[in-house]
Chain A
């Protein structure tokens, strides 16, 4: 076993070192020590209230730990330029959050000054036609809205994607389409064919876990209960 801190090892994107988060006197996460791989899709699983979303929010510093250290590529997140970091680490939330105005307005929040060609390319990356640019964001379907959220995140050019149960409100067909889209991004395949973007994906759907994840990190009541490749854990019911 290496003596180097978890977040400082090669191939580790995020490192959690004895991390604890306490809210209103209750520990949401406690003594979590883990490394998130710099490649592929890592699923974060666990029952409701196990701390999955909090773990994700620590990664882009929407939350800060009360104990321990969270590292990104070896650097303590408490010491980085948080605004630059958030643009490197894009996040898509459980419920699609649309800002007021058109889809164009929404994309321009993420990339001010971008021309229509750039915005249309961002929509194409998530399988939406350029005509959607003029649509009122509030009138999009759930699936379209979540794709626009993904496009809005991708247009910042993130190195990593954090997904917080982004398909939980989508119908099965839209969910599968979204999964394919993200897998293409994670593998650098498909129409986009760009550099692979590692993904940290919170899910409570075991079927989805088997479909999308390369590795899994399991939480229960704020504690890390296991971590490892999905292939190894599949025989044990997808849990490590």
Chain B
């Protein structure tokens, strides 16, 4: 295929990472080690995933293996969501419910209505795309809702004191969180093709697929992302509101999370 990248090509492409390392060295970012480690990790992870996928989505293999792969991805995404949003109470079951809802909507439409044939080579990438976006949306929406209800506690309690049920008192913050998660996706969807060529389409064209076919796949991919983010944030929002209020409509205490340790360290300004 014209888009094939050889092993030698992969090694040569590391020159691009070397450029980033050089920039880091030149202006004192102190990110050289982080860049090198991230690159090495990405190559190993992707190779492992590639070999794993080759085994799993082999047409000769039962579809069950693909479903198991999807289940493992979903479970791991839930664990990552819990790690990234520790301030969100019981985020793991919440994320699982959100992923399930998102899967029902996206996979249900794509495979139920035969947009794609239900095969390992379609199921695993589409589910991966859905789970990845759903995970980010879960973390963003969950953190934002908890943060808003904590910071706007006085306003929430003023609404409760007027006799509003908790679902109604929390609604402005739920709406804001879903909007915040969805608006960047809408912007991306609007600008696609004009401002940038998205990843799936670029990859397909590089791999030698006809651009029009690549566009059709890309459009479906973007719609999966939109549906996934909208479904996930709504499920997370509704679920969180049930957890952050008592049955008698009291807002539970929401302590501030401890500051996470900086992954890349902090640079202090040099004394003048």
A-side interface residues toward B, CB under 8 Å?
23, 60-64, 78, 82-84, 86-87, 90-91, 93, 95, 97, 99-100, 109-110, 149, 152-153, 156
Pair B160/A62 contact, Cβ less than 8 Å: yes
Interface string of B219-254 (1 = CB under 8 A from A): 000000000000000000000000000101110010
Cα–Cα, bound, A152→B249 (Å): 20
- Using A93-B154, A95-B154 as known contacts, say yes or no to A152 and B162 having CB atoms under 8 A apart: yes
Interface residues of B in 142-163 (CB under 8 A from A): 154-155, 157-163
Pair B161/A60 contact, Cβ less than 8 Å: yes
Q: Which residues of A sit under 8 angstroms from B125, Cβ to Cβ? A: none
Pair A87/B154 contact, Cβ less than 8 Å: no
Pair B164/A99 contact, Cβ less than 8 Å: no
Pair A61/B248 contact, Cβ less than 8 Å: yes
Closest 7 CB pairs of A and B: A87-B163, A97-B158, A91-B161, A86-B163, A82-B248, A110-B162, A83-B163
Q: Does B165 contact A (CB under 8 A)?
A: yes
Pair A109/B161 contact, Cβ less than 8 Å: no
Q: Which residues of A sit under 8 angstroms from B165, Cβ to Cβ? A: 83
Pair A86/B250 contact, Cβ less than 8 Å: no
Cα–Cα, bound, A5→B223 (Å): 63
Cα–Cα, bound, A100→B248 (Å): 25
Cα–Cα, bound, A83→B166 (Å): 10
Choose from A63, A78, A100, A156 the contact partner of B163 (Cβ within 8 Å): A156
| Chain B residue with Cβ nearest A85 | B163
The count of residues in chain B whose C-beta lies closer than 8 Å to any C-beta of chain A is: 17
Pair A83/B250 contact, Cβ less than 8 Å: no
| Chain B residue with Cβ nearest A78 | B248
Q: Which residues of A sit under 8 angstroms from B158, Cβ to Cβ? A: 93, 97, 99, 149
A-B contact pairs, 27 of them (CB 8 A): A61-B248, A61-B249, A62-B157, A62-B250, A63-B250, A64-B246, A82-B249, A83-B163, A83-B164, A83-B165, A83-B249, A86-B161, A86-B163, A87-B163, A90-B162, A93-B154, A93-B157, A93-B158, A93-B161, A99-B155, A100-B172, A110-B162, A149-B158, A153-B161, A153-B162, A156-B162, A156-B163
- Using A97-B154, A99-B155 as known contacts, say yes or no to A90 and B161 having CB atoms under 8 A apart: yes
Q: Which residues of B sit under 8 angstroms from A84, Cβ to Cβ? A: 163
Cα–Cα, bound, A37→B184 (Å): 56
The interface residues of chain A, by DSSP majority, are classed as: mixed
Q: Which residues of A sit under 8 angstroms from B160, Cβ to Cβ? A: 62, 86
Q: Which residues of B sit under 8 angstroms from A90, Cβ to Cβ? A: 161-162
| Chain B residue with Cβ nearest A64 | B250
Cα–Cα, bound, A153→B158 (Å): 10
Pair B248/A86 contact, Cβ less than 8 Å: no
Please give the distance in Å from A21's CB to the nearest CB on chain B. 12
Pair B253/A23 contact, Cβ less than 8 Å: yes
Q: Which residues of A sit under 8 angstroms from B162, Cβ to Cβ? A: 86-87, 90, 109-110, 152-153, 156
Choose from A62, A78, A95 the contact partner of B161 (Cβ within 8 Å): A62
Please give the distance in Å from A212's CB to the nearest CB on chain B. 21
| Chain A residue with Cβ nearest B165 | A83
Cα–Cα, bound, A149→B161 (Å): 11
Cα–Cα, bound, A76→B68 (Å): 53
Q: Which residues of B sit under 8 angstroms from A99, Cβ to Cβ? A: 155, 158-159
| Chain A residue with Cβ nearest B246 | A64
Q: Which residues of A sit under 8 angstroms from B163, Cβ to Cβ? A: 83-84, 86-87, 110, 156
Please give the distance in Å from B120's CB to the nearest CB on chain A. 50
Interface residues of B in 33-78 (CB under 8 A from A): none
